[in-house]
A and B are shown apart, each in its own frame.
Chain A
Amino acid sequence: MLLPDKSSADDVRRLYQSLRRLRRVEEEVARVYPSDRIKSPVHLSIGQEALAVGVIDVLETADIIAGSYRSHASYLAKGGSLRGMIAEMYGKSTGCAGGKGGSMHLVGPEVNVMGSSAVVATQIPHAVGAALVQKMKGTQNVAVVFFGDGATEEGVFHESLNFAALHKLPVLFVCENNGYAIHTPLDKRWATDRLVERVVTYGMPADKVADGDIFTIRALATERIAAMRRGGGPAFLELHAYRWREHVGPNEDFEAGYRSRDEAEPWMDNDQMARLANMVDPAVRASIDAAIEAEIKDAFDFAENSPPPMPEELYNHVYAN
């Protein structure tokens, strides 16, 4: 297993850059949000970025990902266009879905982001289908699907695990367990928290990372995906994290009563972005940060200045061809 001390300085720099970029993008989204220039609900990943970054860091461009409505992090980490994402949230014609999908339906075939679904767990079998095609075509590519803890309560999750295991498909199931389905905590939804044990019975390796450590996540993903490329079949990761902001929207919601700041604080103290920031040379970090700020400004300017879709676009793409 690859341990932090075996990560190169390049690895750390790259991971920091990605974490910082996702954090700053979403902070900017949150800052702009009250202006109503963003015409889309937003489900922010602030605090959870290390999960997507740690896993996607080991993927190739040809590998495929699918995600949920909380997909800003995975979309960007996979190489999705920041301009395209912000413009999409603004409802502009230059958005990654031409203004027809919004924040919850990010798509980027050019980097093999196959899409993201707002109906919980719905995207899981799509990644399995993509993995089936990789097996049929004999590629070495893998598919990775990201979903929350609530998705594991849906039947389609279990159906997908079974089929993927049966056919030994190259798909990595990544559960981003942040402990809440909207506002309902796990203890009101699960009789036991032995999720990885449940998954193992379908016939695939399953691991839990409960401390959010990006190096552990990356090492596990590296190992599992390497096995998958050799035809080893699917694997499952349960990665714990904490959602710092409200379920949907730009704000914190510790005053709402369903959870406390005390619960969040250990996670904030364990922030992987801050951790990695301290591992990067300050001068290098400053240059990374400056480049990120410039990219974000460019993307928001691009969204602001892009034209809205023409009215006739309403009827375009109902059917293909």
Chain B
Amino acid sequence: MSMQTEPPAAPRVLRYVDALREAVEQEMDRDPDVFLFGLDVDDHRAIQGSTSGLLEKFGAARVFTTPMSEDAMTGVAIGAAMSGMRPIHVHIRNDFTMLAMNQLVNVAAKAHYMYGGKVKVPLVVRSMIGKSWGQGAQHSQALQSMFMHVPGLKVVMPSNAHDAKGCMIAAIRDDNPVIFIEHRLLYPTEAYVPEAPFTVEFGRARICTAGDAVTLVAISNMVMECLRAQELLAQAGIHCEVIDPISLAPLDIDTILASAMRTRRLLVVDNAWTNAGASAEIIARVMEAAGPHAGIAVKRMGFAPTTCPTSPWLEQHFYPNPATIAQAVHAMVNGRDTGWAPDPARARQANQTQFRGPF
């Protein structure tokens, strides 16, 4: 007698953008109080596909566009959340959340506290960071440290499709306002993503590669850049521990600290300016916890301290890239800049595929 067995299902590969969509669809299926709104969530482009099919499945009462009005729409979301709903408010570019800062900082973050716990604001604010193809000054910012500064907000920046889905489901189920920042260049990237709903817990960093030379903490898209840098460095025999914090508030400093105590070298690469940024915060917390005798060398990399230019000849120097990250790691390991550079052909190959418009 032979038993008929199904072959084990091959792990499913999904793009980041589809993982976002699937997470929202599954949660809207599960919970009728979840709704999705924001300019163009219901149009034919469907926020680069991240909201496709949701209008058709859930109807215009739960999936709808808005007037621009970021300030009032954020307030409407807060009011709806206070009234028991779980809104997801989408911004096509994160830069526009600056128009919503009063509502996010003065109300969403504070309502639960200043009303003595009588009110909750289960709100997800989805927003996208742009890069390349002339995104420039006002389409390229993450500004996550502004949100991290404020108690009451949670800030997540998943770097891969698996975490995008798990974090989105966790964000929707969270009773607090969650600022969910997505990098546009991550949308086409693929990862193994379970089909069944699952959550990725906030405040737990992921060790992406094990290594002993340098603890390399990377945020959002910079995780991809650091993994490419790691490939370049492996040729030089240097193995970094690449850590993705996934969520910045709450921040899993323990995982980063444990790694830095082992490697004695900590480089934080942020998709933002270093000044008063997430990289400064991570290093400060590690150094405070490690104490004055830990002997941990630290370094930060991030945007050049300028406004993001549109010209590619300027923009290429604005962002850290696999080659510059690899060089920085190499210099840390050697205690000085030896002039080492990765093989130019390999560095070019490692460089991110340029995104082409239109959007």
Interface residues of A (CB under 8 A from B): 64, 66, 95-101, 105, 107-109, 114-115, 117, 119, 122, 124-133, 136, 143, 155-156, 159-160, 162-163, 166, 316-321
Q: Please, which residues of chain A bring their CB within 8 A of the CB of B35? A: 136
Whether a CB of chain A sits under 8 angstroms from the CB of B160 is: no
Is B79 a contact of A127 with CB atoms below 8 Å?
yes
Q: Please, which residues of chain B bring their CB within 8 A of the CB of A143? A: 79
Whether a CB of chain A sits under 8 angstroms from the CB of B10 is: no
- 14 CB contacts below 8 A, A to B, read A105-B114, A114-B82, A115-B111, A125-B71, A125-B72, A130-B83, A131-B79, A136-B85, A159-B69, A159-B72, A160-B72, A162-B67, A163-B66, A320-B112
A95, A98, A108, A129: the one contacting B79 at CB < 8 Å is A129
Whether a CB of chain A sits under 8 angstroms from the CB of B207 is: no
Report how far A129 CA is from B85 CA in the complex, Å: 10
Is B75 a contact of A126 with CB atoms below 8 Å?
yes
Q: Please, which residues of chain A bring their CB within 8 A of the CB of B103? A: 122, 125
**Which B residues between 45 and 71 are near A, CB-CB below 8 angstroms?**
61-62, 66-67, 69, 71
| Distance of A235 from chain B, by nearest CB (Å) | 18
Report how far A19 CA is from B102 CA in the complex, Å: 34
Given contacts A136-B61, A155-B71, A318-B152, contact A128 B76 (CB under 8 A): yes
**Which B residues between 141 and 167 are near A, CB-CB below 8 angstroms?**
151-152, 154
Report how far A154 CA is from B187 CA in the complex, Å: 37
Is B116 a contact of A99 with CB atoms below 8 Å?
yes
Whether a CB of chain A sits under 8 angstroms from the CB of B238 is: no
Given contacts A96-B116, A101-B115, contact A129 B83 (CB under 8 A): yes
Is B117 a contact of A166 with CB atoms below 8 Å?
no
Given contacts A98-B116, A321-B175, contact A119 B83 (CB under 8 A): no
Report how far A275 CA is from B73 CA in the complex, Å: 42
| Distance of B117 from chain A, by nearest CB (Å) | 4
Is A317 a contact of B69 with CB atoms below 8 Å?
no
Whether a CB of chain A sits under 8 angstroms from the CB of B191 is: no
Q: Please, which residues of chain A bring their CB within 8 A of the CB of B69? A: 159, 162-163
Q: Please, which residues of chain A bring their CB within 8 A of the CB of B61? A: 136
Whether a CB of chain A sits under 8 angstroms from the CB of B91 is: no
Is B102 a contact of A119 with CB atoms below 8 Å?
yes
Whether a CB of chain A sits under 8 angstroms from the CB of B107 is: yes
Whether a CB of chain A sits under 8 angstroms from the CB of B119 is: yes
Q: What number of residue pairs across chains A and B have CB atoms under 8 A from each other?
A: 141
Given contacts A114-B79, A119-B102, A136-B61, contact A126 B115 (CB under 8 A): no
Whether a CB of chain A sits under 8 angstroms from the CB of B120 is: yes
Q: Please, which residues of chain A bring their CB within 8 A of the CB of B119? A: 107, 109, 114-115
| Distance of A189 from chain B, by nearest CB (Å) | 20
A109, A126, A318: the one contacting B113 at CB < 8 Å is A318
The interface size bin for chain B is: 35 or more
Given contacts A117-B106, A122-B107, A132-B80, contact A160 B75 (CB under 8 A): yes
Q: Please, which residues of chain A bring their CB within 8 A of the CB of B85? A: 133, 136
Whether a CB of chain A sits under 8 angstroms from the CB of B118 is: yes
Is B71 a contact of A114 with CB atoms below 8 Å?
no
| Distance of B109 from chain A, by nearest CB (Å) | 9
Closest B residue to A99 by beta carbon equals B116
Contacts A100-B114, A166-B67 aside, 9 further interface pairs with beta carbons under 8 A come to: A100-B113, A114-B82, A114-B119, A126-B79, A162-B69, A317-B112, A318-B113, A320-B117, A321-B176
Report how far A130 CA is from B81 CA in the complex, Å: 8
Is B117 a contact of A316 with CB atoms below 8 Å?
yes
Report how far A131 CA is from B75 CA in the complex, Å: 12
Q: Please, which residues of chain B bring their CB within 8 A of the CB of A159? A: 67, 69, 71-73
| Distance of B256 from chain A, by nearest CB (Å) | 21
Whether a CB of chain A sits under 8 angstroms from the CB of B279 is: no
Is A125 a contact of B67 with CB atoms below 8 Å?
no
A64, A97, A108, A166: the one contacting B114 at CB < 8 Å is A97
Q: Please, which residues of chain B bring their CB within 8 A of the CB of A317? A: 112-113, 116-117
Q: Please, which residues of chain A bring their CB within 8 A of the CB of B75? A: 122, 124-126, 128-129, 156, 160
Q: Please, which residues of chain A bring their CB within 8 A of the CB of B76? A: 125-126, 128-129, 132, 160, 163
| Distance of B151 from chain A, by nearest CB (Å) | 5
Q: Please, which residues of chain A bring their CB within 8 A of the CB of B116? A: 95-101, 107, 317
Is B83 a contact of A133 with CB atoms below 8 Å?
yes
A163, A318, A320: the one contacting B67 at CB < 8 Å is A163
B79, B81, B152: the one contacting A319 at CB < 8 Å is B152
Is B71 a contact of A156 with CB atoms below 8 Å?
yes
| Distance of A301 from chain B, by nearest CB (Å) | 21
Q: Please, which residues of chain A bring their CB within 8 A of the CB of B112? A: 317-320
Report how far A127 CA is from B83 CA in the complex, Å: 10
Whether a CB of chain A sits under 8 angstroms from the CB of B84 is: yes
Q: Please, which residues of chain A bring their CB within 8 A of the CB of B84? A: 133
Report how far A162 CA is from B74 CA in the complex, Å: 14
Whether a CB of chain A sits under 8 angstroms from the CB of B92 is: no
Closest B residue to A129 by beta carbon equals B79
Whether a CB of chain A sits under 8 angstroms from the CB of B128 is: no
Whether a CB of chain A sits under 8 angstroms from the CB of B77 is: yes
